[in-house]
Amino acid sequence: MKIIYSFLSILLLILLLLPNFVSDYILGIFVLIFFYAYMGQSWNVLTGYAGPISLGHSLYLGIGAYISTKLAMSFGVTPWIGMWVGGLGAALVGLAIGFLGFRFGLKGVYFVLLTIAFGEIGRLTVLHLKPLGHMMGLFVDFKPGFVNFHFRGNLPYYYIALGFVVFSLIVVRALEVSKWGRYFVALREDEDAAESLGVNVFKYKMIAIGISSFMTALGGTFYANYIFYLHPTSVMSMWVSIEIIMRPIIGGLGTPFGPLIGSFLLTPLSEIARSYFTKAGLEGIHIVIYGLLLIAAVLFFPGGIFAFIKKIVKPILGESKEI
């Protein structure tokens, strides 16, 4: 474990110093890497650790983004406060969905379909709400300043997004060694066994979805104040949910570093593919590649890249003791 922590410290140091050496464009890619790593981590708490599969996390992203943005635009509330309100809003919705799904014992694909249904209901509803921009979308007025969460250039966003990632890693690591986290994993592995050992299945699934939706919504605020434009199709569609889940799956589901590794691999790839292939008139090919990667990940690395790396590293570090 010590080796991992020292490695992480060095990595963090490099990332803190990195902006001195690279261009704004590269920084922009790093912002996206961090953003998706963070979103993936938020999703990972529910699906990777506790088990229920959500394909509707765009809903929480959207709720966070719209609430904080609306608070800022209509009431002048700084997004730094609005994001927590958005988080609470999303957590309430997440708990409501969780209550329905878990109270009625929906599992597997049935729960997936429930989350898709609510995601789509959310998207279609926002699409028809005038105060949220209707079909035109919501443009965020650019008012640079720390209080407004609006900045010129990528540098501030880089550090904020990095902060998000560190925050999410700490949350997940704290969960892993806590009673909650241990119970989450037990639920994921075998609900009946967990229940027989005193784990309140309903309660801990609710905790998991609450944390997960809350964290996702915080990311939504970041997104709104980085992109400055919110449209249900770009923020709340199922495609957004797929973007969120891709990285932890490729990197390693239910592991703290999976989302990060996945994002470091996938985000630059998709950015390069997007710009390169769009220029060549081959729009959409990066999604084809994504799809193939997903299939390949499931078929050949079911545990994600992280498990693969661990397998290689283990002989070097020696058998790890219970951590």
Partner 1 sequence: MPLLELKGVNKSFGGLKAVSQVSFELNGGEILGIIGPNGAGKTTLFNVITGFLKVDSGEVWFNGENIVGFKPHQVCQKGMVRTFQLVKPFVELTVFENVVVAALNRAKTIKEAREKTIRTIDLVGLKEKTNTLSSGLTLGHRKRLELARALATEPKLLLLDEVMAGLTPTEVDELIRLLREVNHRGVTILLIEHVMRGLMALSKRVVVLNYGQKIAEGVPGEVVKDRQVIEAYLGEEFASDQS
Partner 2 sequence: MDLNLILQLTTSGFLLGGVYSLIALGLSLIFGVMKVINFAHGAMLVWGMYIAFTLMNWTGIDPFFSFAVSAACLFVLGYIVQRTVVNRIMTFHESMQVIAMVGVMMVLENMAQLIWGPDPHSPHTKYSLSTVWLGSVMIDIPRLLAFILAILIAAAVFVFLKYTDIGKSIRASADNRIGALIVGANVNKVYAVCFGVGAACVGAAGSLLVPLMPVSPHTGFPFKLTSFAIVILGGMGSLPGAMIGGLMIGVAESLGTVFIPSSLKQVISFGIMVLILLLRPKGLFGGKG
Interface residues with partner 1 (CB under 8 A) are: 177-179, 182-183, 185-186, 189-190, 192-201, 254, 319-322
Q: Looking at the DSSP assignment, which residues form a beta bridge with residue 145?
A: 150
Rg value, the chain, Cα: 19
CB closer to partner 1, 24 vs 190 = 190
With CB cut-offs between 5 and 8 Å by kind, which of partner 1, partner 2, none does residue 291 bind?
A: partner 2
Closest approach of partner 1 to the CB of residue 203, in Å:
9
Closest approach of partner 1 to the CB of residue 303, in Å:
9
Q: How far apart are CA 66 and CA 230, in angstroms?
A: 8
Structure tokens that stand for 297 in this block: 């990940």
Q: Where are the alpha helices (DSSP H) in 76-154?
A: 79-103, 108-127
- The site for partner 2 (CB under 8 A) is made up of 47, 51, 53, 55, 100, 104, 106, 108-110, 112-114, 116-118, 120-121, 124-125, 127-128, 238, 242, 245, 249, 253, 282-285, 287-288, 290-295, 297-299, 302
CA angle 159, 160, 161 (to 5 degrees): 90
CB closer to partner 1, 10 vs 177 = 177
Q: How far apart are CA 53 and CA 218, in angstroms?
A: 20
User: 2-17 and 155-177 are packed helices; what angle lies between their axes, rounded to 10 degrees?
Assistant: 170
Q: How far apart are CA 213 and CA 61, in angstroms?
A: 8
With CB cut-offs between 5 and 8 Å by kind, which of partner 1, partner 2, none does residue 195 bind?
A: partner 1
Q: How far apart are CA 11 and CA 197, in angstroms?
A: 40
CB closer to partner 1, 17 vs 323 = 323
User: 201-227 and 79-103 are packed helices; what angle lies between their axes, rounded to 10 degrees?
Assistant: 150
Closest approach of partner 1 to the CB of residue 215, in Å:
23
Closest approach of partner 1 to the CB of residue 214, in Å:
23
With CB cut-offs between 5 and 8 Å by kind, which of partner 2, partner 1, none does residue 6 bind?
A: none
CB closer to partner 2, 60 vs 102 = 102
Q: Where are the alpha helices (DSSP H) in the chain?
A: 2-17, 24-43, 58-75, 79-103, 108-127, 155-177, 179-189, 191-196, 201-227, 232-235, 238-251, 258-279, 285-300, 304-317
CB closer to partner 2, 55 vs 161 = 55
CB closer to partner 2, 51 vs 87 = 51
CB closer to partner 1, 190 vs 283 = 190
With CB cut-offs between 5 and 8 Å by kind, which of partner 2, partner 1, none does residue 47 bind?
A: partner 2
Closest approach of partner 2 to the CB of residue 213, in Å:
17
* 100, 110 Cβ separation under 8 angstroms: no
